A and B are shown apart, each in its own frame.
Chain A
Amino acid sequence: MTYVLDQSHQALKIGEDRLLYGYMAEFEHAEDVVAAARRVRDAGYKKIDAYTPFPVEGLSEALGFRDHWIPFLMLIGGIVGCIGGFALVYYCTVIAYPLNIGGRPLFSWPMYIPVTFECTVLVAALTGVLGMFLLNGLPMPYHPVFDHPDFDRASSDRFFLCIEARDPNFDFTETRRFMETLGALHVSDIELRK
C-alpha cells in the first residue's frame, strides 16, 4: 500500500483525517543518537532532525547539517556597525555640528574609536541574535514533535531522532522497520494535528 503526501507536502496521508509527520526514535544516551544519526544519514535520508537536551558533540555533523550563517551574519553586522558608527561620529563632529573642542582638529579620529567600537559590537550582536531566531524559525509555539508523549524529556534526559514523512526516501513500512534497528528505546509515530 502506498501513501501520498498531503497538499502541504509536510505529511503523509495515512487515512481518513490522519496525517503522519514522521517517525520518532527515542534514545537514552547521547552517543547512541549520534551513531543512529550517522546510520540514518548513510541510508540516504535527508529530512531528518534530532532533539536533544543539550548540544551533543558531532550530532549536527552526523545529520549532515552544514550551516555557517551565524558567523557570516555577525561579520556583516559588525562591518555595518563599524562603518555606520564611524560615519555617525564623523557626520556629527565634522559636518552637522562642527565645534572646536579644546583646540583639537574637527576630525580627531582617536576620539572616534570608542563609539565606533561600541556600535560594531552592538550591531553584530543584534544581527546574530535576530539571525539565530529567524533562521531557526523561532518563536514557534507549536510543532508536531511536541505531540510525542515523551517529548517533555527532550529537555531533560532523552535524545530523539526523527525521520520526516516529506523525505523522498520515506516509506511507511520500510522506514519504520529501519528505525526499529537503530537501537532506540522505542519508535513512535508523530501525527500532524488537523
Chain B
Amino acid sequence: MVQPQRTDETFEMIGPGHNYESVTEKISSVVLSRRISVLWLALVLVFAHIAGLFGLGAVMTLFWGVGTWGNNIPVGWAFGIINFVWWIGIGHAGTLISAILLLLHQNWRTSINRFAEAMTLFAVFCAAQYPLFHIGRHMYAYWMFPVPNSMGLWPQFKSPLIWDVFAINTYLLVSALFWFVGLIPDLATLRDRARTKPAKIIYGMLAMGWRGSALHWRRYTALYLLLAGLSTPLVLSVHTIVSFDFAFGNVPGWHTTIFPPYFVAGAVFAGFAMVLILAIPLRAAFHLRDVITMKHLENCAKVMLATGMIVVYGYIMEVFFGWYSGSEYERYMTFVTRMNLNESPYAWSWYALLICNGLAIQPLWFKKVRTNPLALFVISLFVSVGMWLERFVIIVTSLTRDFLPAAWGNYSPTWVDWALYIGTIGLFFTLFLLFIRLLPAISIAEMRELVAHHGHGTASFTEHGTEEMADARLVEEHPTNKF
C-alpha cells in the first residue's frame, strides 16, 4: 500500500486549490461513497479473522481460567499487562495530538486529530480487555468500583491498581466525549449530504440536530477548548499511574523514580509510531496526500524522535542508577539479568529493545528520512516492536530474578497468550477500518477553518491581505489564544 514519494506531495498544511466545498466533498465522499473497494473489504475480512483469535483466547480464558496463560509465580504479571501497557501507550498519541497540540496552537494537528482520537479509543478499548480477563473471577469485577455492598467491603484506595481503574475509565470516557463532541458538526455534514434514507436517518440522529448556530458554536468551542485543557493533564496522569503500577513495588527494575516521565514519553513515542503506521497507508489508499501532507508526516517524525530520545535517556538513567544505588539486587538486575547474554535467558530482549527504540530512530535526525513515507513506515514498525519489548523487559525480566535465588523462575507465553495479543491487533485494525468508512476520518469543520485562514476558502479573502497576514491573524485570533 505504501507508495514512493509522488509529485503531488506538498509541505503545506493543505494542498493548493481547496475551498470549503472541495474539502467537504473530499472527506465526506470517503464515507458516503457507496462503492466498497475490494482492498478495504479484503482487509476487513483478514483483520476480523485475526480478531477472531481474541475471541478464541477469551473463550479459553473464561472456560478454563487464567491457568491457560503462561504467567505463574514468580512471573505473575506477563503478557496481560505488557499488552495492556502497550495499547494504553499507543492510545496516548491521539490525545496528545487532539488536546496538547490544540493548546500549543499547532494547526497541523487538524487533519490527523480525528483518526488519532479514534485510534486512542480503539487502543484503550483493546487495552481494557486484558485486566478484564486477567481478574479471573469475573463475577467479582464490581469489587473494583466503590459500590456500597452488604459485605461492607471497599476498594483499597492506596493501590495504584485501583487508581488505574479510575484513570482508565475516566480516560476512556473523556476521550469518547471529546471525540464525539468533535464529530457532531461533521455528522451534520454527513446528514446533509447523505443520499440514502438510512444514512440520513442514522447520521441525523447522531448529529442531534446540529445546525451550526453561532451561539451553539460559541459554547461548543469553549467546551472543546476546555476539554482539551482537561485531557492534557489527564493523559499524563494515565500513564503516570500505569508507571506507578510498577514503581510502587520494591522489585528491582520496577522501583525507580524516573518511571512517570519515562513512561509518558514512551507512550507518546509508541503512539506517534502508530499514527504513522495508520496515516501512511490511509493517505495513499484514499488519495488524501493533499490533506495529510508531508508536513504532517515530518512533524510526527520529529515528535517521535524527541520522545524517543527521552526514552533512550530513561535507559541510560536505569543503567546508571542501577549501579549508583549500590544495591546488589539493583546491580544484578541491571548488569546480569538484563545485560549479560550468557547468564540471563532474557538479555536478548534488552539488546533488541536498544536496537528498535534507540538505534532505529536515529535516521530521523535527517530531513531526507523524515520526508520519506516508506522509511517512516518501517521505522514506526521498529518502534512499535521496540515499545512492546520495553514492557517485556520491565515486566518479565524483572520478575524472573528478584531477591531470593530460590524464588527465581522463567517465563514463556502459551498459545492463548499469543492468541489474545494478536487478536487485539486484529480487533484494533478491524475497528479502525470500519471507522474510516463510517465516519469522517478527518475533521471537516476544522479543515474548513484551515481553508478559511489560509486564504484558499474564497476569492475575496485574499483581497483583505496576504497569506502571511492571514496566518498572523489566525495566530492572533484563534480561540486557543484566549488561554
Interface residues of A (CB under 8 A from B): 28-32, 37, 49-60, 63, 65, 67-71, 74, 88-89, 92-93, 96-97, 99, 101-102, 104, 108, 111-112, 114-115, 117-119, 121-122, 124-126, 128-129, 131-133, 135-136, 138-143, 145-146, 151-157
**B20 an interface residue at 8 Å Cβ cutoff?**
yes
**B436 an interface residue at 8 Å Cβ cutoff?**
no
Interface residue SS majority, chain A: helix
Contact between chains at A121 and B193 (CB < 8 Å):
no
**B310 an interface residue at 8 Å Cβ cutoff?**
no
Cα–Cα, bound, A99→B155 (Å) = 11
Contact between chains at B458 and A121 (CB < 8 Å):
no
Cα–Cα, bound, A140→B458 (Å) = 31
Cα–Cα, bound, A177→B212 (Å) = 25
Contact between chains at A92 and B154 (CB < 8 Å):
yes
Q: Do A133 and B477 form a contact, CB below 8 Å, given A67-B215, A117-B237, A156-B192?
A: no
Pick 27 A–B contacts, CB within 8 A, sort by A. Answer: A29-B458, A49-B215, A51-B211, A51-B214, A52-B214, A54-B217, A57-B477, A63-B215, A65-B214, A70-B219, A74-B223, A101-B158, A102-B158, A104-B158, A114-B167, A119-B170, A121-B233, A121-B237, A122-B170, A125-B173, A125-B177, A128-B223, A136-B215, A138-B210, A152-B192, A155-B191, A156-B20
Q: Contacts of A125 on B, CB cut-off 8 Å?
A: 173-174, 177-178, 227, 230
Report the interface size class on chain B: 35 or more
Contact between chains at B177 and A55 (CB < 8 Å):
no
**B412 an interface residue at 8 Å Cβ cutoff?**
no
Q: Contacts of A136 on B, CB cut-off 8 Å?
A: 213, 215-216, 219-220
Contact between chains at B170 and A114 (CB < 8 Å):
no
Cα–Cα, bound, A130→B219 (Å) = 12
**B241 an interface residue at 8 Å Cβ cutoff?**
yes
Closest 4 pairs (CB-CB, A-B): A139-B208, A157-B20, A152-B192, A140-B209
Cα–Cα, bound, A65→B220 (Å) = 13
Determine which residue in A68, A117, A125, A141 has the highest number of CB atoms from chain B within 10 A of its CB, and name it.
Answer: A125
Residue of B nearest to A133 (CB): B208
Cα–Cα, bound, A101→B460 (Å) = 69
Cα–Cα, bound, A147→B267 (Å) = 48
Contact between chains at B221 and A139 (CB < 8 Å):
no
Q: Do A29 and B461 form a contact, CB below 8 Å, given A49-B215, A118-B167?
A: yes
Residue of B nearest to A139 (CB): B208
Cα–Cα, bound, A37→B45 (Å) = 52
**B479 an interface residue at 8 Å Cβ cutoff?**
yes
Contact between chains at A67 and B218 (CB < 8 Å):
yes
Q: Contacts of B212 on A, CB cut-off 8 Å?
A: 51-53, 154-155
Interface residue SS majority, chain B: helix
Q: Which of B155-175 contact A (CB under 8 A)?
A: 155-160, 162-163, 166-167, 169-170, 173-174
Contact between chains at A140 and B208 (CB < 8 Å):
yes
Chain B's nearest CB lies how many Å from the CB of A116?
A: 10
Q: Do A55 and B174 form a contact, CB below 8 Å, given A152-B193, A156-B193?
A: no
Chain A's nearest CB lies how many Å from the CB of B475?
A: 12
Contact between chains at A146 and B218 (CB < 8 Å):
no
Chain B's nearest CB lies how many Å from the CB of A132?
A: 5
Cα–Cα, bound, A146→B215 (Å) = 17
Contact between chains at B177 and A126 (CB < 8 Å):
yes
Contact for B445 among A53, A67, A71, A102, CB less than 8 A: A53
Chain B's nearest CB lies how many Å from the CB of A144?
A: 10
Cα–Cα, bound, A155→B21 (Å) = 10
Contact for B237 among A89, A114, A153, CB less than 8 A: A114
Q: Contacts of A52 on B, CB cut-off 8 Å?
A: 212, 214, 217
Chain A's nearest CB lies how many Å from the CB of B435?
A: 20
Contact for A31 among B155, B174, B189, B464, CB less than 8 A: B464
Q: Which of B182-230 contact A (CB under 8 A)?
A: 185, 188-189, 191-193, 204-205, 208-223, 226-227, 230
Hey, what's the 0/1 contact readout for B28-40 against A, CB within 8 Å counting as 1? 0000000000000
Residue of B nearest to A123 (CB): B170
Q: Contacts of A157 on B, CB cut-off 8 Å?
A: 19-21, 24, 448
Cα–Cα, bound, A101→B156 (Å) = 9
Contact between chains at A56 and B223 (CB < 8 Å):
no
Q: Contacts of A129 on B, CB cut-off 8 Å?
A: 177, 181, 223, 227
Q: Do A31 and B223 form a contact, CB below 8 Å, given A65-B218, A115-B163?
A: no
Chain B's nearest CB lies how many Å from the CB of A159?
A: 9
Q: Contacts of B216 on A, CB cut-off 8 Å?
A: 136, 138
Cα–Cα, bound, A71→B208 (Å) = 22
Q: Contacts of B226 on A, CB cut-off 8 Å?
A: 70-71, 74, 124, 128
Cα–Cα, bound, A167→B19 (Å) = 35
Contact between chains at A30 and B209 (CB < 8 Å):
no
Residue of A nearest to B222 (CB): A70
Q: Contacts of A29 on B, CB cut-off 8 Å?
A: 457-458, 460-461
Q: Which of B450-470 contact A (CB under 8 A)?
A: 452, 457-458, 460-461, 464
**B152 an interface residue at 8 Å Cβ cutoff?**
yes
Q: Contacts of B204 on A, CB cut-off 8 Å?
A: 141
Chain B's nearest CB lies how many Å from the CB of A5?
A: 21
Q: Contacts of A50 on B, CB cut-off 8 Å?
A: 213-214
**B234 an interface residue at 8 Å Cβ cutoff?**
yes
Q: Contacts of B156 on A, CB cut-off 8 Å?
A: 99, 101
Determine which residue in B154, B177, B185 has the highest number of CB atoms from chain A within 10 A of its CB, and name it.
Answer: B154
Residue of B nearest to A160 (CB): B212
Contact between chains at B21 and A156 (CB < 8 Å):
yes
Contact between chains at B218 and A60 (CB < 8 Å):
yes
Cα–Cα, bound, A169→B153 (Å) = 65
Chain A's nearest CB lies how many Å from the CB of B383?
A: 28
**B131 an interface residue at 8 Å Cβ cutoff?**
no
Q: Contacts of A118 on B, CB cut-off 8 Å?
A: 163, 166-167, 170, 234, 237
**B409 an interface residue at 8 Å Cβ cutoff?**
no
Cα–Cα, bound, A67→B152 (Å) = 46
Contact between chains at B479 and A55 (CB < 8 Å):
yes
Q: Contacts of A32 on B, CB cut-off 8 Å?
A: 460
Contact between chains at A60 and B208 (CB < 8 Å):
no
